[in-house]
Amino acid sequence: MIDLHTHTVFSDGELIPAELIRRAQTMGYKAIAITDHIDFSNVEHVIRGVSRISELEDVLDIRIIPGAELTHVPPAKMPRLAEMARRLGAEIVVVHGETPVEPVAPGTNRAALEMGVDILAHPGFLTPEEADLARENQVCLEITSRSGHNITNGHVVRLARAARAMMVVNTDTHCPDDLITRDRAVQIAQGAGLTKEEAVRVVDDHCLVKL
């Protein structure tokens, strides 16, 4: 299992990075990205703190990837914040997409896709044009296991498949119970409308699959 979207106490998660990583390791994770929520007020603090956890990599059999999730940032300001995050050491930049269960600003999905971030998380009622843009700019569209955000997984898969856009299964973990096994990730992808073969490819290839 590889998970490219998780949270710790550096934003609204329950666990410090070391405990999150240890719990993930015991569940068979091979890699985990810590992508705590950022805006302009906390970007330096979060990324510098999260980046230090890579110190554990030489004694743990798991790849630790420092990242960040731009969250409820006005679309016009997102490019500057993403650039700051990468300069500070974020290896993965995620954008908190237009999930139907939160008041995300309209235009967030499109701005993220035009910027070419790594992952558009829980993109909600994605449009066909946005799915095409994801393919063109090689942005992964997230299939999420997180309750609430996952109600549009089927819609996202349908449009991503039609556009031949890349997909990834992530947990958006905030607490220990959010972590899942690889088999569960495959089930989530199947439940969203992928065949068993497609689900396995999406889970195992991590943003490298265009169906």
Q: What is the model's pLDDT at position 210? A: 53
Q: Using one digit for the tens of pLDDT, what is the confidence trace for 108-144?
A: 999 999 999 999 999 999 999 999 999 999 999 999 9
Q: Over 70: is that where the pLDDT of 208 sits? A: no
In a domain, residue 161? The reply is: yes
In a domain, residue 114? The reply is: yes
Mutual orientation of helices 153-163 and 128-137 as an angle, nearest 10°?
A: 60
Q: What is the model's pLDDT at position 139? A: 98
Q: What is the model's pLDDT at position 153? A: 98
Query: 54 or 158: whose pLDDT is higher?
Result: 158
Q: Which range of residues forms the domain containing residue 27?
A: 2-205
Q: Over 60: is that where the pLDDT of 152 sits? A: yes
* pLDDT, the chain, mean: 96
Look at the chain and report how many structural domains it folds into. 1
In a domain, residue 210? The reply is: no
Q: Using one digit for the tens of pLDDT, what is the confidence trace for 89-113?
A: 999 999 999 999 999 999 999 999 9
Q: Over 70: is that where the pLDDT of 211 sits? A: no
In a domain, residue 143? The reply is: yes
In 3D space, the residue among 67, 53, 63, 55 whose CA is nearest the CA of residue 19 turns out to be 53
- For residue 121, what is the domain's CATH number? 3.20.20.140
Confidence of residue 209 (pLDDT cuts 50, 70, 90): low
pTM above threshold 0.75: yes
DSSP string for the chain: -EE--B--TTTT-SS-HHHHHHHHHHTT-SEEEE--EE-TTTHHHHHHHHHGGGGGTTTSSSEEEEEEEE-S--GGGHHHHHHHHHHHT-SEEEEE---TTTTPPTTHHHHHHHHT-SEEES--S--HHHHHHHHHHTPEEEEE-STTGGGGHHHHHHHHHHHT-BEEEE--B-SGGG---HHHHHHHHHHTT--HHHHHHHHHHSS--B-
